[in-house]
Amino acid sequence: MQDKTHLVDDITGHRRMRRIRKADWTRRLVQENRLTVDDLIWPIFIIPGENIVEPIAAMPGVNRLTVDKVVEAAKEAADLGIPALATFPNVEMHLRDETGSQILAANNLINRTTAAIKKAVPNIGVITDVALDPFTSHGHDGILRGNEIANDETVDQIVRAAVLQADAGSDIIAPSDMMDGRIGAIRRGLDAAGHHSVGIMSYATKFASCYYGPYREAISTGGLLKGDKKSYYIDPANGTEAMRDAALDVEEGADMLMVKPGLPYLDICWRMKEAFGLPVFAYQVSGEYAQIKAAAANGWIDGERAMLETLLCFKRAGCDGILSYFAMDVAKYLAKQG
């Protein structure tokens, strides 16, 4: 009877994969992807007032900060080597209306924050969003007329908002509203205002996901939303539609592309990088963050390892960078590693 052990040796002995996994030094030599501080963008929530750090219940470890505290946080982030921040305002309720008109106030919360960061920490990038949802009384990303989001009217308004944000010092406009034609319109508006060097990071594929809940708590829109956003966000079932959406943004002049949410859509990250060759970013959204924190708090997973593994997955899927609420934790971890 043939010895099957020797048969396995004969067949596979010359190509045993475990040889390169046997020691730490060999694993390090052949590691295909690495996570560095240069991959991180830190989303920050802003509130009015002074000297306030306000915890967000659904996002343990994440706080809403007043402008002065955001500046302090930006200095710490820059010292750790984080390249950029993305800011999101929690606007006072009395300033929200049907059209989100407060986004057109030159000295609104988001623009004041940008100016303060760029004055105090000029070497860190500032990325701002022009979606209307933090400014509307109904929680939608655009102007609501009856039961429908008015696409072209919304685009006109976000173009004006983009110019104001660039005037305040924003380095990259990142429109998350998913209105048709917005990228080309924003590019034309920025160029006409002399902001030729301000980039556009398109939320090219933003899906109608269940993972946004904690974010909506953070900017106080959860209880405001009338209906849902399925008429302008992408169906989670539709990968080809997502690619068509991204292709239009590329044609209109997007400098960078984003996939949101992140981990459930790694296939889209890979497809976009392969198809377009532009820098691709993923947004590890609030629900993804909250899941890891909750599981870690219950002792079900190692929170630090899960944080690092998920971020590394984005790199393997072709992402050039990740927007993550873990950014500061990761930056501190990497600094300790030397």
C-alpha span between 120 and 75 (Å, rounded): 8
**DSSP per-residue string spanning 69-94:** HHHHHHHHHHHHT--EEEEEE---GG
Nearest to 145, CA basis, from 98, 104, 101:
98
- DSSP code of residue 206: E
206 carries an active-site annotation? yes
User: Is residue 11 classed as helix, strand or coil in its secondary structure?
Assistant: helix
The number of C-alpha atoms within 13 Å of 289 and in the hemisphere containing its C-beta is 25
Looking at the DSSP bridge assignments, the partners of residue 64 are 45, 54
Task: Please state the φ and ψ torsions of residue 307, each to the nearest 5 degrees.
Answer: -55, -50
Of the residues 206, 229, 293, 315, only one is catalytic, namely 206
Query: Are 314 and 28 spatial neighbours (Cβ–Cβ below 8 Å)?
Result: no
Q: Is 88 left (phi over 0), alpha (psi -120 to 50) or beta?
A: beta
C-alpha span between 19 and 268 (Å, rounded): 33
Of the residues 69, 229, 260, 273, only one is catalytic, namely 260
Q: How many Cβ atoms from other residues are within 10 Å of residue 92's Cβ?
A: 13
H/E segment holding residue 230? none
Relative to beta strand 199-206, strand 256-260 is: parallel
Give CA torsion, residues 20, 24, 29, 32, to 10 deg: 80
C-alpha span between 314 and 269 (Å, rounded): 8
C-alpha span between 317 and 338 (Å, rounded): 25
C-alpha span between 293 and 297 (Å, rounded): 6
Sequence length of the chain is 338
4 carries an active-site annotation? no
Residues with catalytic annotation? 206, 260
